[in-house]
Structure 1
Amino acid sequence: MEMTDLRLVVATGALAAVAAAGAVAVWRRRPRPGVPLRAGAVLLAELLLVTAVALVVNRAEGFYPTWAALAQDGTTAHRPPATPGRLDATIRRLAADPDLPIAVPWRPPSLAASPGGGATVAVPAGYLRHPSWRYPAVLVLSSPADGWTDARMLTAARQDAPTAVVVAVRAAPDLDPGVLATGMPLDLQRDLRVTGHRWGLVASDHVRRSARDVAGRDPGRFPAPVIAAGPGPSGLATGLRAVAGQLPAPLAAPAPVLAPSAAAHQVGRHRPPAHGPVSGIGLRHGP
Structure 2
Amino acid sequence: MSLTGLPLLITIGVIAAGAAVGTARTWRRHGRWQALTRPVAVLLTEVLALLAVGLAVNRAEGFYPTWGDLLPAGVARHDTDPTRPGRLDRWINSRAGAAPTTPVAFPWHPPRGGRWPVTATPTVVVPADYPQHPTRRYPVIAVLADHTTGAGEATAARTVQADTGPVIVVFTHLRPTAAPTVLTEALPAGLARDLRVTSHSWALIAPADLAGLAGAVVRAAPTRYPALALVDDAPEPGGVAVPADLPATETVAVIGAATHQLPTALRWACRQTPAPLGGPAPLIPPPPQAGSPTGGR
TM above 0.5: yes
**1:163-185 per-position Cα deviation (integer Å, ceiling 9, x unaligned):** 10111112222322211111111
Separation of aligned partners in 1, 2:105 and 2:193 = 18
Partner of 2:5: none
The structure richer in helix per residue is 1
Separation of aligned partners in 2, 1:98 and 1:125 = 6
Question: Where do 4+ consecutive residues of structure 1 move more than 4 Å?
Answer: none
Contact between 2:106 and 2:125, CA under 8 Å: does it hold in 1? yes
In the alignment, does 2:65 pair up with 1:80?
yes
Moved more, 169-178 or 198-207: 169-178
Among 251, 255, 262, the alignment partner of 2:277 is 251
Contact between 2:149 and 2:262, CA under 8 Å: does it hold in 1? no
In the alignment, does 2:111 pair up with 1:90?
no
Matches within 5 A, 1:50-61: none
Partner of 2:207: 204
Partner of 2:106: 104
Unaligned segments of structure 1, at least 5 residues: 1-71, 257-287
Among 260, 266, 275, the alignment partner of 1:234 is 260
- Distance 1:108-1:252 versus aligned 2 partners, 3 A rule: same
Separation of aligned partners in 1, 2:204 and 2:93 = 26
Contact between 1:163 and 1:249, CA under 8 Å: does it hold in 2? yes
Partner of 1:139: 142
- Distance 1:151-1:221 versus aligned 2 partners, 3 A rule: closer
Q: Helix, strand or coil for the counterpart of 1:100?
A: coil
Separation of aligned partners in 2, 1:120 and 1:232 = 26
In the alignment, does 2:188 pair up with 1:185?
yes
- Distance 1:106-1:221 versus aligned 2 partners, 3 A rule: same
Matches within 5 A, 1:118-137: 118-137=121-140
Q: CA RMSD in A?
A: 2.6
Tell me the matched-pair count. Answer: 185
Contact between 2:86 and 2:193, CA under 8 Å: does it hold in 1? yes
Contact between 1:125 and 1:162, CA under 8 Å: does it hold in 2? no
Separation of aligned partners in 1, 2:213 and 2:102 = 32
Contact between 1:157 and 1:166, CA under 8 Å: does it hold in 2? no
The CA deviation at 1:150 is 3.3
Contact between 1:201 and 1:224, CA under 8 Å: does it hold in 2? yes
Contact between 1:171 and 1:207, CA under 8 Å: does it hold in 2? no
Separation of aligned partners in 1, 2:280 and 2:203 = 22
Query: Identity over aligned residues, as a percent?
Result: 37
Q: TM-score scaled by structure 1?
A: 0.58
- Distance 1:152-1:106 versus aligned 2 partners, 3 A rule: same
Separation of aligned partners in 2, 1:234 and 1:149 = 12
Partner of 1:62: none
